[in-house]
Structure 1
Amino acid sequence: MTLTPQWLDELRARTSLSTLIGKSVKVIKAGREYKACCPFHNEKTPSFTINDEKGFYHCFGCGAHGDAIRWMTDQRGLPFMEAVKELAATAGMDVPAADPRAAKRAEQTKGLHDAMGAAQSFFEDQLGGIDGGEARAYLQKRGITDATRRAFGFGYSPDSRGKLKTALRDFGDPMLVEAGLLIDPDGERDTYDRFRGRLMLPIRDIRGRVIAFGGRIIGSGEPKYLNSPDTPLFDKGRTLYNIDKASPASRSTGRVIVVEGYMDVIALAQAGFGEAVAPLGTALTEHQIERLWKMVEVPLLCFDGDSAGQKAAIRAATRALPLLRPGHSLAFATLPSGQDPDDLIRASGRQAMEAVLTDAEPLIERLWKHEVSSAPLATPEEKAALKQRLRAISDAIAHPDVRAHYAHEFRERYDALFFARRDAAPQQRGQGGGNFGGGGQRWQRDKRGNWKPPIAPAGAEARAIGASGMEQRLLRAILAALLRHPGQIAPHREMLSALQIGDPQLAQLLAAMISLSFRKETVETQALLTILGQGELYNMAKGMLRADAFTLTPDRISTDPDRLSRDLEEAVRVMAQGPELETALVEATRRFESDFSEENFAEQQRIRALKADHDRRLAELAQSEDIV
C-alpha cells in the first residue's frame, strides 16, 4: 500500500490529538492548548503540552515531541502501520490497499475480527448469566475483583456443543472454523463449539483487538488450559498475553515482567504491576523476545522457583543467546519455591513481589550458576566439561562484541573458581577512568594520555612473561597477529592489559597498540606503524609483519575471524596463567613447609598439576605448526 504525504496529513487533521492522548493521560485545558503530566517521564508539575491546531505534543521536561502517529508508536508501542490503521478507523478513513488481493485479505481479516469480537461479547454475557455461576464462584475464590474481571474481559463458554455456533450463525461456519471458534471434525459431520465449560479469557493484539481465546476448565477435565489454534489472526509464537496493556504501562515503569501464565499476569495487574505479559502455552520464542525488546532493553523473566520454572528460565536464556546485542539482554527473578505471583502477593503483599523483581539476576549470572550446579566438579575431566559448556554458550552468541565479553567473563569466573590463590587479596577491575587492567599492577596514563603497561613487581617469586623461550615465541606470535589484524585488540584489551611483559620493547609495542585502540574505534595496521615512528619499535613491528614472521593461524584468519579470536583468547590466557600459577605454587610450597598437613600437601600437588598442564599447553601452542 502507498501512504502519500497528503493522505497522512488528512489523517492527522481528522484526529483530535488532545482526545487521543486524553484516553491514556489526564489532560487539562490551558488557553488554546492542553497540559498534562508527561507520560514519558515521572513528574508532578505538568510540562507536557498538546496543541490541537498544530497537531503536535511537546514535553519541556524530557523533550518528547510528536504527532498522533508518533504518540501511537511511542506511547502505545504500536508498529507504524498498526498505528495508522487504528487512527484511520477512528477517523473514518480507508487505508489504501496495495492491490485487489491485499484488499480482499484485509476484508477477510476484518470479518474474522468481527467474529472474534462477537464471540467475546457472547462469552461475557454467559459469565453474567445462569450458566456462569460456577465460573463466577471460581473468580471470587481466586480473589479476582469485578474491576479486574471487566478490565481483562473474563467470560464463560457454556458446556454445550452448539450454543456459540447458534449465537454467531450469521458469520457462517467456514469463518467461525477459520477463526478457531468451531471445530470441523472431517468435513462430513457437523461442526461444534471448540470451547465448552471453560472460563474464557480474550487474547488481544497490540491494538487491543481480540484475536484468540484461552479457556480454563471449570471443575475436572483435560486440558486444564486450552488456547485457540493458530489462525490468520493468531500466531501463538509471536503473541504475548496482555501486550496491549503492558506496552503502554512499560513506558511508565521502564520494565516488562514476563511470567508463566494468564492468571499470573492478572494477579500482578490487580496488585499494581500493569507491565506483565506471558507466553501462550509455549516456551518463550525468538519472536516474543524481539517483541519484548521493542518495549524495554532488559525484560524481567519471573518464573516459579520449582524445577519446571527454572527449566523454563534456562530454555529462554538459551534461546536468547543468538539474538543478544549491545544493551539488549534478559534478567531473571525467581519466585520462592512452591509460590506463584498470586501466592506471594497474598501471603506477603506487593512489597514482597517488588523485592523479588529488584533481586533479578543478569543473564550471564543465571547461565553461570546453572552450568556450575548442573554437574559435579570434582575431577579434572568434570572441570574441563564445565569449560566446554561455557564455551558452547559464548559461541552461540552471534554478535562479536557481546560474544567476546561473555567469553572473557566466563574465563575470569572459571579461573577464579579453580586457579585463585587462597590468600590472594581481591583485586578491583579497571573502570573507565585512569586505571585499566588487573593482576595487582595497574595500567596508567602518561602525561600525553597514552596507556603505559604495568611494571613487573620485584622479588624472587615474581616473574615477567617472556622469560622462557616458549613464552617469548608465543608472545611474539600474539603481537604479530594483533599487528596484522588490529581489530582484535579491543575485544581482547582487558586480557592483554593484564600481561606483565619482561621484554621492554615488546611491552612498549603492546602498550602502543592498546593506547590506539582507546582513541580510535577502527584501528588499522598502517596507523599503528605511523604512531610507532621510525625507531626500534617500528623496525620490530615491520619485521613481525613479514610473511615469514611469527603469527597465529596464518591460513585460517582471512576466512574465519572467529577462529582467530578464539585462538588469541586462549593464547593470551595461557600466557597470563604462567606467572600466576608459579606464584601460587610458591605460596603453596611455603605453607606446606611451615605446616606439613595433608591439606597443605594436597593443595601444593593440585597447583603443581595445574602448572604441569599449563606448561604442556604452552609448549603445544608455541610449537604449533600454526606459528611459523
Structure 2
Amino acid sequence: MAIPRDFINELIARTDIVELIDRRVPLKKAGKNHSACCPFHSEKSPSFTVSRDKQFYHCFGCGAHGNAIDFLMEYDRLEFVDAIEDLAGQLGLDVPREQGGKRRDDGLSRDLYQLMEEANNFYQNQLRSHADRQKVLDYLALRGLSDTIVKQFGIGFAPDGWDGLLSRYRNNPDAQDKLLTGGMLIAKDGGSRYDRFRDRLMFPIRDRRGRVVGFGGRVLGDGTPKYLNSPETPIFHKGSELYGLYELKQNYRDPQRVLIVEGYMDVVALAQFGVDYAVASLGTSTTAEQFQLLLRNAKEVICCYDGDNAGFEAAWRALETALPLLKPQDQVRFIFLPQGEDPDSLIRKIGQQAFEKLIEQAKKLEDFFFETLSQRHQGNDSELAQQAIVHIEKIQDTLLRDLLLEKLSHKLRMVSIDDLKHKFFKTQARVPHTAPKGLKGRGTPLRLAVALLVQHPSLGFGLPLQPALAHLQMNGISLLNHLLEMTRNQRFNTAQILEHFREHAQWPALKKLAQWEHQVADENLALEFRKALVWLTNQYIEQRYQELSLKQHHSREEKIQLQKLLAVMKSRD
C-alpha cells in the first residue's frame, strides 16, 4: 500500500469517531456508547452504536460496522485513499507516500496546481488591467453580474492573441511543459506552442479543496465553440468535478439543497439573483461520481433541465444514474424549464422568488419515473412493469424500492406488491440484507481470547511472552499470536487493530469478533482473558505430551521434557 501504515495508525488514533459521525448523524449518549438510527438502512428505533473506547461503530440491524475510515467510505461514498486524505485534511496533516508507491499528489501534481492558480491570477489581472478590459466589463454589466459575484467565482479574462499566458513562461521550458500537460497550452506539429484560451471570459473550476484544476472559457464574440473546457489532465477529470460546488460550500457548511444545472453562466447568474446553491456538471451527463458528490453534500438534489426532448432524455439518464446511489432520506427531484429558457435567462425575467417557486414545484423522482415509463409504454402494462422492475431492482434504499413497487402495484391495479413480484420478477426480488445480531455465548477459548483482544487491546499490553502458543497446533492460533505480538509493547484501540488487518484474509472474521457479544462483564475481562490463555497453554501441553508418548525412541532432551510435562499434568489434576 502506498500510504505508510504508521501514518494510518496515527490518523485513526487522532480521530474521534464519535465527533466524526455526530457531524453527519446526530448521536445520543447511551450508557458508555452513543446511538442513533442507522444511516445505512431504514429503521424507526436506534440500533446503530458508536464506541469511543473502541473507535468503532456497529449497527445491530443491518450489520454495518467499522472504524472512521470505513464510515467515510460508506457514508460519504469515498474510496480508501480519499477517506484517508479527508481525515488527514480535517487534522491538518499531509498524507505521505512510501517510496515506489503511486502518488496522487506528487511533484508534477503540486506544480500543476500552482501553475493553474498562477493562470487564474493572470486571467483575473487581465480583467482589471488589459487594454481590452472594457469590452469584458461591458459584457459582465450586460449580464447583470456584480463585482462581488465576479470576485466570488474568480471570473477572469483571457485576452485575444496566441501567447498571453505563454509569454509569462517564455524563459521557463519546464513550466511550459507542465502547462501543456495541464491543458493550458496547445502544441503544433512543428513543436511551437500557443494559448488554448483566447478572447474568452474565464471561469476557474475548483476541486473540493479549493484548488484550481481547470477552466471553462466563454467566447466574447461570435467565435466557436461558445464554451471551451479544459481537457482531461492528471488533476482534472470532468466526470469527477462540479463547477460551483466549492463556492457553494463556502456559503453553506451543510447545504440542505443543491440545484444542478448545465452551464457556468447559469450557476453564476443564479447566485447573482440569490439562488446561491447551484452547481454545473461541466457539459457532460451527470456521472455517478458527480451524483455521489451531490448526495454527500446535501439531502436534496434538484436536477434542472430544458423542457424539450433533449432535456427529458438528459433527466432520465440522470435518474438512471442516481437510483442505485440513493440512501435513506436522500431526495432527488426534477424541474423542467419553459421552451427556449435556461436558468440564466429565466431568473432574469421572473426573479428569485418566482424561480424558487418553480423549484418548490419540482417533480418527485417517483412521479417523473412513472410519467416517463407511461409515456414510453402507452397501453402496454406488462412492458411498463418489466421496465420498471429492471430499474427498481437496482435500488439500495429499501423505503424507496418499496414505494416504487407500491406505486407500480397501484398503477397496474394489482392487489398487493407480492402479486406484482410473483407476476413480473424473473428472479426473486432482492430483500434488504439483515446481518445476524451478533454471535452469542462464549464460544471456544481461542475465539474468546481473540475477541477480547480485538475489543480490548490493552489486555495484551505488557503481557509476558506465551512461548507455548507459538507451538500449539490449532486453527486460528497464528492470528492470536499475531495480536499478542502487536499489543505487547504498543497501545492500540479496536479501530487500529482492524485497520492493521484490512488487507489480510482475517479481516472479515476480526470485524465480526469486534462486535461479538461475548457476555463477559467488564470487571472480569482480564480474568477471562488469562483463563483462555491458560486453557490454550494446557492444550499445547497435552498435544506435546501425546506427541512424545507415541514415540518409541526419545532423545535425552525429550525424556526430560516428557517428565516435566507429566509433572505439570499431574499438578493440574
Shift of 1:174: 1.4
Written as runs of structure 1 = structure 2, the 5 A alignment for 1:596-611 is none
Query: Cα–Cα, structure 1 residues 373 and 235, in superposed 2: closer, same or farther, change >3 Å?
Result: same
2:165 matched residue in structure 1: 164
Match of 2:304 in 1: 302
1:345 to 344, 347, 364: 347
Retained in 2: the 8 A contact 1:179–1:231? yes
Q: How does 1:24-423 map to 2 (within 5 A)?
A: 81-82=85-86, 84-85=88-89, 88=92, 95-99=95-99, 106-128=106-128, 129-169=130-170, 170=172, 171-186=174-189, 188-374=190-376, 376-377=378-379, 382-397=380-395, 402-415=400-413
Structure 2 CA distance for partners of 1:402 and 1:5, relative to 1, 3 Å: closer
Partners of 1:200 and 1:138 in 2: CA distance = 13
TM-fit CA distance, 1:81 = 1.6
Deviations 1:593-618 (A, max 9, x none): xxxxxxxxxxxxxxxxxxxxxxxxxx
Q: Distance in 2 between matches of 1:127 and 1:412?
A: 59
Distance change >3 Å, CA 161–CA 388, structure 1 → 2: same
Q: Distance in 1 between matches of 2:359 and 2:210?
A: 27
Q: Distance in 2 between matches of 1:361 and 1:106?
A: 45
**1:43 alignment partner in structure 2:** none
Q: How does 1:443-522 map to 2 (within 5 A)?
A: none
Aligned counterparts of 1:488 and 1:394: Cα–Cα separation in 2: 10
- C-alpha change, 1:100 and 1:216, in structure 2 (3 Å) is same
The answer on whether the counterparts of 1:161 and 1:193 sit within 8 Å (CA) in structure 2 is: yes
Shift of 1:415: 2.2
Q: C-alpha displacement at 1:204, in angstroms?
A: 0.2
| Number of residue equivalences | 362
Amino acid at match of 2:409: R
Q: Deviations over 1:507-564 (max 9, x none)?
A: xxxxxxxxxxxxx9989xxxxxxxxxxxxxxxxxxxxxxxxxxxxxxxxxxxxxxxxx
- Deviation by residue 1:144-170 (Cα, 9 ceiling, x = unmatched): 111111111111112212221111343
CA contact (8 A) 1:250 1:296 kept: no
1:284: how far off? 0.2
Identity of aligned residues (%): 35
Q: 1:197 to 1:235 in 2, by over 3 A?
A: same
Query: Counterparts of 2:406 and 2:188 in 1: how far apart (Å)?
Result: 56
Q: Aligned equivalents of 2:411 and 2:310: distance in 1?
A: 27
Paired AA for residue 370 in structure 1: T
Measure, in 1, the Cα distance between the counterparts of 2:318 and 2:430: 32
The Cα of 1:286 is off from its aligned counterpart by 0.6
Q: Cα distance, 1:119 vs. partner?
A: 0.5
Q: Distance in 1 between matches of 2:342 and 2:315?
A: 14
| Equivalent pair of 2:334/2:364 in contact (CA under 8 Å) | yes
Q: Does 295-304 or 404-413 show the bigger shift?
A: 404-413
Shift, 1:262, TM fit: 0.8
Secondary structure, aligned partner of 2:213? strand
Query: Partner of 2:257: helix, strand, or coil?
Result: coil
Q: Paired residue for 2:27?
A: none
Give the conservation status (yes or no) of the 8 Å contact 1:250–1:256: no
Q: Distance in 2 between matches of 1:223 and 1:82?
A: 37
1:178 to 1:368, Cα distance in 2 relative to 1, 3 A: same
Q: CA deviation at 1:490?
A: 8.1
More off after superposition, 299-308 vs 173-182: 299-308
SS at 1:330 equivalent: strand
Distance 1:136 1:231, change over 3 A: same
d(CA) in 2 for partners of 1:262, 1:331: 21
Distance 1:168 1:86, change over 3 A: farther
Give the conservation status (yes or no) of the 8 Å contact 2:11–2:87. no
The verdict on how the C-alpha distance between 1:303 and 1:83 changes in structure 2, with shifts beyond 3 A counting, is farther
Report the secondary structure of 1:96's partner residue: coil
CA distance change for structure 1 residues 83 and 344 in 2, over 3 Å: closer, same or farther? farther
Q: Say if 1:126 and 1:83 are closer, same or farther in 2 by CA, change over 3 A.
A: farther
Change (3 A) 1:173 1:292: same
1:18-47 residue CA offsets vs partner (Å, 9 max, x unmatched):
xxxxxxxxxxxxxxxxxxxxxxxxxxxxxx
User: 1:52-79: CA deviations, max 9, x gaps?
Assistant: xxxxxxxxxxxxxxxxxx9xxx99x996
Task: Tell me: CA distance 1:490–1:242, structure 2 relative to 1, closer, same or farther (3 Å).
Answer: closer
- Looking at structure 1, the residues matched to 371 and 9 of structure 2 have their Cα atoms a distance apart, in angstroms, of 57
| Change beyond 3 A, Cα 1:11–1:274 | farther
Measured after TM superposition, the shift of residue 252 of structure 1 is 4.8
Instruction: Tell me the TM-score normalized by structure 2.
Output: 0.56
**SS of the counterpart of 2:355?**
helix
User: Residues 101 and 375 of structure 1: is their aligned pair in 2 closer, same or farther, counting only changes over 3 Å?
Assistant: closer
Task: Assess if the C-alpha contact under 8 Å between 1:262 and 1:278 holds in 2.
Answer: yes
SS of corresponding position for 1:390: helix
User: Per the alignment, do residues 383 and 283 of structure 1 end up closer, same or farther by CA in structure 2, a change over 3 Å counting?
Assistant: same
Give the 3-state SS of the residue equivalent to 2:141 in structure 1: helix
TM-superposed CA distance for 1:95, in Å, is 4.6
Question: 2:204–2:216: 8 Å Cα contact kept in structure 1?
Answer: yes
TM-fit CA distance, 1:277: 0.9
Deviation, 1:7, is 7.1
Q: Distance in 2 between matches of 1:341 and 1:207?
A: 27
- Quick one: distance in 1 between partners of 2:311 and 2:106? 40
User: CA contact under 8 A between 2:259 and 2:279: conserved in structure 1?
Assistant: yes
Q: CA RMSD in A?
A: 3.8
Q: Is the 8 A contact 1:161 1:192 kept in 2?
A: yes
Shift of 1:197: 1.4
Looking at both structures, which has the greater relative contact order when contacts are Cα pairs under 8 Å and sequence separation is at least 6? 2
CA contact (8 A) 1:305 1:334 kept: yes
**For residues 113 and 413 of structure 2, what CA distance do their matches in structure 1 show?**
58
Q: Do the aligned partners of residues 103 and 406 (structure 1) sit closer, same or farther apart at CA in structure 2, a change above 3 Å counting?
A: closer
Kindly tell me: are residues 369 and 489 of structure 1, through their superposed partners in 2, closer, same or farther at Cα, counting changes over 3 Å?
A: closer
